[in-house]
Structures are given as structure tokens and as C-alpha cells.
Chain A
Amino acid sequence: AQSVTQPDIHITVSEGASLELRCNYSYGATPYLFWYVQSPGQGLQLLLKYFSGDTLVQGIKGFEAEFKRSQSSFNLRKPSVHWSDAAEYFCAVGARGNKLVFGAGTILRVKS
């Protein structure tokens, strides 16, 4: 069965520092992979997605993610974090039946 693991429940970074959020997936075929962001009290917004082609994908708000098949990973990165990036981030994999399977999420805190 498809699954997603986000090993870090919480991450704290200083404003201006770089960020990497980890995501590992389990899926038999070439996966569809996504990162979503959720600000407090809000719904989920799609940051970026991967389904084929270049393994480094660019998203909104300055985020990027790299698909590494050998490591079954799809880590999210940002070179310089802003205070407004504080939110919860979810990695997801597209599963059979056009479903999305989510990881447990990583809460990002940004300190000034």
C-alpha cells in the first residue's frame, strides 16, 4: 500500500536561514508527489508537484523539491525562510484510484 513518512514533527529555523523538510514515500510505480501547505485555521494550498521529467521542481513562494527515486524521497527546500512561511507542511503521494495519501505533516516554526 502507498504510504508517506515525514520524519520531523516540528522544525524551527531562524528567519533568513535555509530550510529542508523531509519526505519519504512507498509506492510501487512512478509516483505522483505533492507538497501542500496549511496556514493555521486554513485549508491546504498546493506548493508544487512532480509526476515526470526534471527531478527538481519549482513551486510557489520560492519553494522547490527534489525527487530522488533511489532514496524514495521528495524533500522540500527553500533557500531563505520568511516569517510568513510558518505553517504546517504535508507531503502526499498519488495512489491508485486517483486518491491522495498524506504524511503526518511537519510544523514549521520561524524565529526572528
Chain B
Amino acid sequence: NAGVTQTPKFQVLKTGQSMTLQCAQDMNHEYMSWYRQDPGMGLRLIHYSVGAGITDQGEVPNGYNVSRSTTEDFPLRLLSAAPSQTSVYFCASSYSVAVGYTFGSGTRLTVV
């Protein structure tokens, strides 16, 4: 049982480059979220999805796009990377917030 799988684990980008962080879950969860983690700020919600074809913005959505074409996958796209997007990114999934979310192992992104 793989749970939530994030790729890549590490990435270095140059300012202005684009890339996609991949997230896949095999638990048939409807709810998926992307967070970024920065020191002293906890985890901040970027985008979330309540099911295939439905996404919405979280607390810090600027500079990021998402789509949810299948239940399993929820990729996060950085359109034009900026140094302020240097962070650790976590994907999470759940079938109900009442039982909490399962988190992936994270992607550490550095933008230079």
C-alpha cells in the first residue's frame, strides 16, 4: 500500500523556470491538498480538491496551478518559479477531514 507518493523528492530550479510536482494516492480518497512548509510558519494550504474536476484556492495560491483529472492524481504546477517559492511541499489526501489527512514525504524545492 503506497499511500501518498510525491515526486521528485528534491529539485533545484532557476528563476523563471516552470515545473510540475507530482502527487498520486492509491487510497481512493476524494480530498487532496497541497501545502508548503516554511520555518516558523507551519503548513500553509496552497490549493485543494474535493474530487475529480473540482479544485479551489487555499491560503497561498499565487504562482501555482492545479488540476484534478483523476481521483488518484493531483499535480501542482509552478508556472514561473521565484525564489520566494523555495520551500518544502507536501501533498495530502483524505476521505474525510474527520479522520485526518495522510501526507506524502514531501518535495524540497530550491529556486535560485
Chain A residues with CB under 8 Å of chain B are: 4, 6, 9, 32, 34, 36, 42-46, 49, 51, 90, 94-95, 97-105
Contacts and interface: CB of A to CB of B under 8 A. Distances in A.
A44 B90 contact: yes
B42 A102 contact: yes
A51 B98 contact: yes
A98 B94 contact: yes
Contacts of A36: 100, 103
Contacts, number: 63
B98 A97 contact: no
Interface string B31-46: 1010100001111110
Chain B at the A interface: mostly helix, strand, loop or mixed?
strand
Contacts of A90: 42-43
A94 B48 contact: no
A100 B41 CA distance: 15
A97 B105 contact: no
B42 A105 contact: yes
